A and B are shown apart, each in its own frame.
Chain A
Amino acid sequence: MIKEVNTLETRILIAGFGGQGILFFAKYLAYIGMEKGLQVSWMPSYGPEMRGGAAQCGVVLSDNVIGNPVVGEPDIFTAMNLPSFAAFENRVKPGGTMFVDSSLISKECSRKDITVRGIPATQMAEEHGLKGLANMIMAGAVLSKLPDISQDVIEAAMRETIPERKKEMFANNMKAVALGLAAI
């Protein structure tokens, strides 16, 4: 049984390789917050990481003024590769949740005070003809932890996140999110 994150502020960290769509994933969560009328912040790592190294992005959703936008101790952490799993496993807040792309990370989490959910997102994406959208499958999984997310919000946020010139990607992104939601 997954305990709902129901604090006034939810701090989310997403980490993986450059090219996995980590920043896009985080941007989608920020738009989810925007659609719900919350305060949001989106804080990327930036620089040489964009060219294939480690990529990470922190998102804070809050119904109050956001202080620190850097997510050092996340309520929800999503690991999309082994180095980020190792780097942040011990920084998740007690009682928090860690989502793991289990098709890329086979290591078991040693912590007993957090909920760990493995989703074989990369494999699922390939099986469903959604190559490159493992990020959005993981995003669907994260949505399951946020309170009161309606289908309208899920769609509206996606419309905002996808740039006009790539709008043909909308349907596949929505499919990926639905897969992630259903996997939890």
Chain B
Amino acid sequence: MSKRILIKGNEAIAEAAIASGCRHFFGYPITPQNELAAHMSRRLPKIGGCYLQAESEVAAINMVYGASAAGVRCMTSSSSPGISLKTEGLSYLAGCDLPAVVINVQRGGPGLGSIQPSQADYFQAVKGGGHGDYRMIVLAPNSVQEMYSHTCKAFDLADQYRLTVMILTDGFLGQMMEPMTVESGQLTVDSEKDWAVGGKRGKRIVNSLFLKPADLEKSNLERFERYKLVEESEPLHEGYMLDDAEIVVAAYGATSRITRNAIDEARSQGVKAGLLRPVTVWPFPKKAFAKAAEHARAFVSAEMSMGQMIEDVELAIRCRRPVLLCSRVGGMAPEPKQIFDAILQADKEAAR
């Protein structure tokens, strides 16, 4: 086993990208993700890579589009307002079935908002954001170690399914330092792509324009066959004290860390609470929620948004149980006490 190093979440993502063979990074500065781009600017030129600070977020995502079309592993990162600017590019990447890895270190919104952590871009990440029918795989790490491992996984998934994988994280996890261990053999492989364009590769076309509606429909249907595979094979979740939980708290990313303390407090007071943490927020771990609904009397959705993930929780359990919202927004984070109080409230509601 290699040495534990103390590192910021943002830097862990950069290191993971490099370990995954990513040598092309296009970015534009925004707090709280700046350490990521700064790390890439220091590291990439030394290993023959290309770090490029674009003139805008729109330019950066379109550089990703070009690099991906040429068949190389590439990445861009930003924070909420910057991701909004990139959404046109996300739609084009999807329309051309190009693999890409995009990092969103969320901050408070809407608008220019605040620079403090938030989870209010959930809908934008899991429901679309850009125009047209498309999906992205969205991973939600909750530790610095996972910032690393999820980013490695993101590059593999992007290539495997030819789609964009987003790491949906926030200022909390980006700015904090924790120990990280880089396991040997974790290095992922950048495979040769038989669809990538290039002068000597013969006639290959990357394009999202279809003048015949029937052709466009066909390409959409084929793409959704792949999405179906993703929904069958890739949902991930983590449970804590979940198996016998009567009150189940759904929380992802940083909020799932805070929830853990609330669960411990509830258990110490005899309330059977448990955590169900979506690790992939798309595909949403629907089966895990349906299963939890068999023993849970009520659910709580703890999120740093005004009730976004709660809709997926209600859908996944088909509204068979009450679901309470526990939220802080604008860059504020819930304290364990607030989530604990929501657990007690849910316990009461369920008893009615």
Q: Interface residues, chain A, CB within 8 Å of chain B?
A: 27, 30-31, 34, 39-44, 46-47, 65-70, 72, 160
Contacts and interface: CB of A to CB of B under 8 A. Distances in A.
A163 B16 CA distance: 22
Nearest to A30: B6
B120 to A, nearest CB: 18
A67 B260 CA distance: 6
B260 A68 contact: yes
Interface of B: 4, 6, 31-32, 115-116, 171-172, 175-179, 257-261, 264, 333, 335-336
Contacts of A42: 6, 176-178
B175 A69 contact: no
Q: What secondary structure prevails in chain B residues at the interface with A?
A: mixed
Nearest to A161: B6
Nearest to B171: A46
A47 B4 CA distance: 27
A44 B172 contact: no
A69 B172 contact: yes
A45 B296 CA distance: 37
A46 B175 contact: yes
A43 B8 CA distance: 9
A68 B337 CA distance: 11
A29 to B, nearest CB: 11
Contact of B177 (A27, A65, A68, A72): A27
B178 A67 contact: no
A47 B114 CA distance: 10
Contacts of A72: 335
A69 B6 CA distance: 15
11 contacts: A30-B177, A34-B6, A40-B179, A42-B176, A42-B178, A46-B171, A47-B115, A67-B259, A67-B260, A68-B258, A69-B172
B5 to A, nearest CB: 9
Most chain A CB within 10 A, of B177, B178, B259, B260, is at B177
Given A30-B6, A31-B6, A46-B32, A67 B258 contact: yes
A43 B174 CA distance: 10
Contacts of A30: 6, 177
Contact of B179 (A34, A67, A68): A34
A44 B257 contact: no
B12 to A, nearest CB: 13
A161 to B, nearest CB: 9
B177 A70 contact: no
Given A40-B6, A42-B178, A160-B6, 17 more contacts: A30-B6, A34-B4, A41-B176, A41-B177, A42-B6, A43-B172, A43-B175, A44-B176, A46-B31, A46-B32, A46-B115, A47-B115, A65-B260, A67-B260, A68-B257, A68-B335, A69-B172
A29 B179 CA distance: 13
Contacts of B172: 43, 69-70
Nearest to B115: A47
A66 B176 CA distance: 13
A30 B116 CA distance: 22
Nearest to A26: B177
Nearest to A44: B175
